[in-house]
Amino acid sequence: MLSSFNNFFRKKTVQPLSVQESSPVEPVPADFTLVDASLSGWFKEETGELLEGFPVSADDHVLDVGCGDGTFIGFCAKLGAEVTFADIDSEKIATVSSRLEQFNARGVHGLVSDADPLPLPDAYADKIIAMEVMEHVDSPSSFIHELVRVGKPGALYLLSVPDATSELVQKHLAPPGHFEKPNHINVFSRAEFEQLIVDAGLIIEKHAYYGFYWSIFWAFFWTCDQDLSPPWHPLLESWARTWDMLLKMRDGPRIKKALDEAMPKSQAIIARKPA
């Protein structure tokens, strides 16, 4: 049911529960989450943009801090960029390194690090990615200043955190551990997230809000008594089929955009380091 875009799972620590037996259901299209992501401006292969407004070329050196399963840095590697990716999980780094070696990247550099600090020189990368990381760290300000340090003058940044609207819903539904270490210890309003980036010396170029589908998925997930792997509970399968049906409707993309604005799973900012 879940495509490789589902990087929202990569930082979760959820205790496995027994999966409720489910009756056969109609299969969910394998690519429906990729379609949803594409409608939000992600993975634009025709223009070489990871997210609309964040172009990547073969001349770039891209750094992904908190790379998880490598979905985002993998897109950059396919475009031929030199890529460096860091994560605290050594097994993830090994897996991503092996997969990215198959692509046409100019260079592939895996790094096991908690980013406190990053073992990298100043002015290291042209493009810096940090997706769904700052909600986990003890000092978001120190973290983002470290990202600024390793960016070249004029470097472009793509940064995301969970949106506070969705997080408020999860606080009523998720187990207490979801908002304790090593999970979400920080919740950012849109104004707080923007201020964090401005205070680090970056110039904001664009905001993006996306992932209403995942906000509802997680609201449903906690009552399904299962771990983060298929077979998925019928409720989650039903929600996926409903969303897939909506996206195919005449007004589906317009409805999705409105819902993404109202209750996004994530908020992203594209920002630039002064030259």
* Residue 230: per-residue pLDDT: 85
Q: pLDDT tens for residues 39-51? A: 999 999 999 999 9
- Does 10 reside within a domain? no
- Does 27 reside within a domain? no
Percent of the chain scoring above 90 in pLDDT: 85
Q: Which amino acid is at 16?
A: P
Does the pLDDT at position 1 exceed 80? no
Q: b/e per residue, 179-202, with b = 16+ CB within 10 A?
A: beeebbebbbebeebbebbeebeb
Q: Is the dihedral of CA 40, 42, 48, 50 positive or negative?
A: positive
Which CATH number goes with the domain that contains 175? 3.40.50.150
- DSSP 8-state code for residue 177: G
Crossing angle, helix 234-247 and helix 32-39, to 10 degrees? Answer: 50
- CB distance 45 to 55 below 8 Å: no
Q: Which domain, by its residues, includes 213? A: 47-272
131 vs 26, residue with greater confidence: 131
* Residue 22: per-residue pLDDT: 38
Does the pLDDT at position 167 exceed 50? yes
- Does 7 reside within a domain? no
Task: Report the candidate in 54, 51, 47 with the shortest Cα–Cα distance to residue 156.
Answer: 54
Q: How would you classify residue 40: left for phi > 0, otherwise alpha for psi between -120 and 50, otherwise beta? A: alpha
* Residue 131: per-residue pLDDT: 98
Binned at pLDDT 50, 70 and 90, residue 150 comes out as very high
- Does 33 reside within a domain? no
Residue in this structure with the two tokens 């875009």, named with its chain if needed: 5
Q: How far are the Cα atoms of 15, 23, 105 from residue 211, in angstroms, in the given order?
A: 24, 28, 29
- Does 36 reside within a domain? no
- Does 13 reside within a domain? no
Angle at 270 between CA 30 and CA 118, to 5 degrees: 90
Q: pLDDT tens for residues 49-61? A: 999 999 999 999 9
In whole angstroms, what is the distance from residue 186 CA to residue 164 CA?
10
Mean pLDDT in residue range 135-153: 98
Binned at pLDDT 50, 70 and 90, residue 75 comes out as very high
- Does 82 reside within a domain? yes
Binned at pLDDT 50, 70 and 90, residue 28 comes out as low
Bond from prior residue into 253 cis (ω within 30 degrees of 0): no
- Does 249 reside within a domain? yes
Number of neighbouring beta carbons within 10 Å of residue 205: 13
Q: Is the model's pTM score more than 0.85?
A: yes
Residue in this structure with the two tokens 């897996």, named with its chain if needed: 95
Residue in this structure with the two tokens 């979905």, named with its chain if needed: 71
Q: Which amino acid is at 202?
A: L
Count up the domains in the chain and report the number. 1
Does the pLDDT at position 7 exceed 70? no
